[in-house]
Amino acid sequence: MTIAERALEMIQDGFVVGLGTGRAATEFVNALGKRVQQGLRIRGVPTSQRSADLATQLGIPLITLDQVEQLDLDVDGADEVDPNLDLIKGLGGALIREKIVAAAAKRFIVLVGSEKIVPALGAHGVLPVEVVPFALPLCMRRLTAMGMPPTPRQKDGKLFISDNANYVLDCKIQPIADPRKLEAEILAIPGVVGTGLFLGMAHTVLIQDGDNVQVKERKGQ
């Protein structure tokens, strides 16, 4: 069984489902599309234009957040998962919309391979931060002063522009001792829209380990 197939078992007829962005989320959306073609009735809220385009191709009906008070489930991937099920996301460039959709869901399901499991966030050395274009110079200086030298993300030789018309800075980091403190310090920089730190948000993490799927639930649920 795959993590996408395991996530599908959590989907019920009539659900409103958040559709994540990235490799693992794409596998899930493809699997969900097949179920929809077989008669499953759901509606999706995409986290990016890419996931919206894919869902449309597969015949998954889409709605927006102003059409529903709460999502039943959000399914997305992650770049890092620590022992507390806190995450780093955003290497796919959709971190802000991903965070909004996850916050709007009753349950946030994260799909990862075993290589994404880390002892502490920051183990892979990169934290994405989305910033308003006008604030790019200020944000870069402030992040550098914090010991997190940023590199503006590029695509096709140009600055990458998010679906929100912002820039993404990939900050070089060490394992983070206090993710919540760091999140607050970054968000205090004028022009920062959000970070790739997803703290206390994931309810369930499905981990692909060979042919097996390991399920981890957040403590206190």
- Residue-wise pLDDT tens digits, 97-141: 999 999 999 999 999 999 999 999 999 999 999 999 999 999 999
Question: pLDDT band at 49, cuts 50/70/90?
Answer: very high
For CATH 3.40.50.1360, the residue range(s) in the chain are 3-117+199-211
Nearest CA to 94 out of 104, 83, 79 is that of 79
**Confidence (pLDDT) at 76:** 98
- Percent pLDDT > 70 in the chain is 100
What positions carry a catalytic annotation? 98
Residue 39 structure tokens: 């008669």
Other beta carbons within 10 angstroms of residue 3's beta carbon come to 25
For CATH 3.30.70.260, the residue range(s) in the chain are 126-195
Question: pLDDT band at 200, cuts 50/70/90?
Answer: very high
Question: pLDDT band at 158, cuts 50/70/90?
Answer: very high
Mean pLDDT of the chain: 97
Q: Using the CB atoms, write b or e for 167-203: b if 16+ within 10 Å.
A: bbbbbebeebeebeebbebbeebebbbbbbbbbebbb
* Burial (0-12, 13-18, 19+ Cβ within 10 Å), 134: exposed
**pLDDT (mean) for 32-45:** 97
**Confidence (pLDDT) at 220:** 72
CATH superfamily of 126-195: ACT domain (3.30.70.260)
Is pLDDT at 221 greater than 90 in this prediction? no
Nearest CA to 86 out of 115, 118, 128 is that of 118
Give the three-class secondary structure for 154.
strand
**Confidence (pLDDT) at 30:** 98
Q: Which CATH number fits domain 3-117+199-211: 3.40.50.1360, 3.40.50.1700, 3.20.20.70, 3.40.50.12780?
A: 3.40.50.1360
**Confidence (pLDDT) at 219:** 84
**pTM for the model:** 0.96
Is pLDDT at 163 greater than 80 in this prediction? yes
